[in-house]
Structure 1
Amino acid sequence: MGRINFDLQELQAFVAVAERSSFKQAAEDLFLSQPALSRRIEKLEEMLGVKLFERTTRRVQLTNIGRVFLSNVRTALDELEGAILNMSDLAAHRTGIVTLACVPSAVHYFLPDVLKGFTERFPKIRVRIFDESAQDVLNLILAGEADFGINFAGAEDPEIDFLPIYKESYVLAMRHDHALAKRKKLSWKETASERYISVSKSSGNRSLIDNALAGVEKHPVIFYEVNHVAGILALVEAGMGVAAVPRLSLPKYMDATLVGIPLVNPSIHRTLGLISKRGRIMPPAARTLFDMLVQSSKTDKSVQPK
């Protein structure tokens, strides 16, 4: 095999276009002209002998080969950057980068205080956070693109080590001025006449609820479907209806607008855990952050049910 002849600028140009889905915006980010950026991409494609992007007058998107190459390039650039940063003190893991994948609710409830303490100990270590859906988080761990994750999916996967850190219940989110807002708990049957807002059927949350309610006589009727819990809560806040959501999906410091009432008969729970790829040795800095999250989950009362 002949020697591969390209430089970092071409790889950086490729990543910039892939992330922006635009030659114009990527060129602005890199302080290049569009023709100069295009030449870098063309040179890279010519060297690889493959087409990395599908280009039309309206959009730019990665080809299937381009998506695979992007994952590999990101990993390679991270490792190269980490090697450069860590030359003098790798053993002490005082510099470098930690990549963490987690469901969005975990960002609010588990990360801020731990990251603050981690940064105070290791101010030169950077942390990259992928806040994605449960399935995307699992895929990032399995692909080796994140050091570890916080997720409620993966416990049954033979390639995943799953360490439970929190068991959360589902609550009914509603406005504070709703007729049921003062209740201590609500059965699903009592709320069957409410206008429900839900995530789509492809969501793990929706599947969990549908399976749990399979034997319930009266089912809630879904009037609105959205793709993300943030959209659900926006509609609830606007007075469009109520929604069954995991407790951690509600804002950590709720104002007077929304309340979450525990749902019973049946009670539905899910377990959040720290996940990592089985058999993979975590880099020292990632292991330190992982251990700090474990310790925090044992002592932090702010994530305990009220």
Structure 2
Amino acid sequence: MNVKQLRAFLAVSQCLSFAQAGERLHLSQPALSLTIKSLEEDLGGPLFSRTTRSVSLTPEGETLLPLARQLLADWDNTEELLRQRFTLQLGKVSIAAMPSFAGNWLPSALKVFRDRYPRVNVAVHDVINEQVLEMVRHRRVELGIGFEPESSNSLLFTPFYMDRFVAVVPVDSPLAEREEVTWSELLQEDFIALQRPSAVRLLLEQALQAQHGKLSVAFESHQLATIGRMVANGLGVSAVPSLCVQQMRELGAHCIALIEPRIERRIGLMMLADHTLSTAAQALREVLIGCAQEQVSGMARLH
């Protein structure tokens, strides 16, 4: 039993005439008769009683009629739903992003996406870098944004930009008058860091270990906003990815270039290498890549 047969059965049931039903379906009467005959053979018996003057449903045909209506309605609804998703009239996509990106660049990219596809829902998971990787690998999200994985054949990584860490200091600090500051100078102040297992914290510790030893931390927090506010209130200094510069400024802190060493890591978009993205996820991916390209030139001026 297939959709073509059900449509033919429903048309004849409504018209009680093969001629009229054929006109409605744009089928010749012999072709329609063959379709109904094939359906009856598949099911095992007649669905219509035919005479030279009339057509009527058999008891089995009466049984099939409401079921056929429901099956065709479900089929049409499914077709329409998928058509809307393929054309992005409807849809849903999930993305995981590390906090430094989710709280800074992502909202502007989502605004572009929303303007283009207003009926596509986007679920954002604001999680640490390690959880971004885990959610992508376990197919809990289609897309992830974070630091470039050190090695992973299962993931396809599309780089956005090379992000460098900048110093965050109080606006009234003598360091705020400098164009750049060394790590040695910065670490003479009380240091405020993200708590473990933040990838930002781990990256800083690894990069500083050889030259500066163990990172001494006076205050720590899970939230970048809290760190920015602590610095602004004179509790110490910090270092954050440069994509957080605007956020730090809004919180009342000042950012300057950070050297000796320059600590940098590529940030980009991740997806499973063997996964075909949904239409909505593919559209979001294109928007994110486009927005990242537009932002790169602005970031370059900070370095």
Instruction: Give me the TM-score of the superposition, normalised by structure 2.
Output: 0.67
Using a 3 Å threshold, how does the CA distance of structure 1 residues 295 and 217 change in structure 2: closer, same or farther?
Answer: closer
How many Å separate the matches in 1 of 2:116 and 2:212? 54
Paired residue for 2:131?
Answer: 136
Paired residue for 1:188?
Answer: 183
1:264 and 2:259 correspond: yes
Paired residue for 1:215?
Answer: 210
How many Å separate the matches in 1 of 2:187 and 2:114? 47
Unaligned runs of at least 5 residues, structure 2: 1-76
Contact 2:100 2:241 in 1 (8 A): no
Contact 2:209 2:215 in 1 (8 A): no
Using a 3 Å threshold, how does the CA distance of structure 1 residues 256 and 153 change in structure 2: closer, same or farther?
Answer: closer
Using a 3 Å threshold, how does the CA distance of structure 1 residues 115 and 192 change in structure 2: closer, same or farther?
Answer: closer
How many Å separate the matches in 2 of 1:189 and 1:218? 11
How many Å separate the matches in 1 of 2:105 and 2:201? 23
Deviates most, 267-276 or 155-164: 155-164
How many Å separate the matches in 2 of 1:280 and 1:297? 23
SS of the residue 1:141 aligns to: helix
Report how far residue 86 of structure 1 moved: 2.4
Paired residue for 1:296?
Answer: 291
SS of the residue 2:122 aligns to: strand
Report how far residue 265 of structure 1 moved: 0.8
1:102-141 map, 5 Å: 102-141=97-136
1:273 and 2:268 correspond: yes
How many Å separate the matches in 2 of 1:135 and 1:237? 29
Paired residue for 1:197?
Answer: 192
Paired residue for 1:45?
Answer: none
1:236 and 2:255 correspond: no
Give the aligned residue type for 2:124: I
How many Å separate the matches in 1 of 2:285 and 2:224? 26
How many Å separate the matches in 1 of 2:208 and 2:83? 57
Report how far residue 109 of structure 1 moved: 3.7
Paired residue for 1:284?
Answer: 279
How many Å separate the matches in 2 of 1:202 and 1:122? 36
What is the root-mean-square deviation in Å for CA atoms of aligned residues? 2.5
How many Å separate the matches in 1 of 2:219 and 2:248? 26
Using a 3 Å threshold, how does the CA distance of structure 1 residues 214 and 113 change in structure 2: closer, same or farther?
Answer: closer
How many Å separate the matches in 2 of 1:283 and 1:157? 22
Paired residue for 1:46?
Answer: none
Which is helix-richer, 1 or 2? 2
Report how far residue 270 of structure 1 moved: 1.5
Give the aligned residue type for 1:101: A
Report how far residue 98 of structure 1 moved: 1.1
Give the aligned residue type for 2:179: K
Give the aligned residue type for 1:250: V
How many Å separate the matches in 2 of 1:244 and 1:287? 34
How many Å separate the matches in 2 of 1:87 and 1:294? 26
Contact 1:192 1:218 in 2 (8 A): no
Using a 3 Å threshold, how does the CA distance of structure 1 residues 238 and 278 change in structure 2: closer, same or farther?
Answer: same
How many Å separate the matches in 1 of 2:127 and 2:230? 21
How many Å separate the matches in 2 of 1:270 and 1:256? 24
Report how far residue 179 of structure 1 moved: 1.4
Instruction: Give me the TM-score of the superposition, normalised by structure 1.
Output: 0.67
Report how far residue 253 of structure 1 moved: 7.8
1:136-175 map, 5 Å: 136-175=131-170
SS of the residue 2:177 aligns to: coil
Contact 1:93 1:285 in 2 (8 A): yes
1:21-40 map, 5 Å: none
Using a 3 Å threshold, how does the CA distance of structure 1 residues 110 and 181 change in structure 2: closer, same or farther?
Answer: same
Deviation readout 1:94-146 (Å, 9 max, x if unpaired): 21111111112223443333322322222211111111111111111111111
How many Å separate the matches in 1 of 2:251 and 2:123? 33
Report how far residue 90 of structure 1 moved: 3.2
Report how far residue 153 of structure 1 moved: 4.5
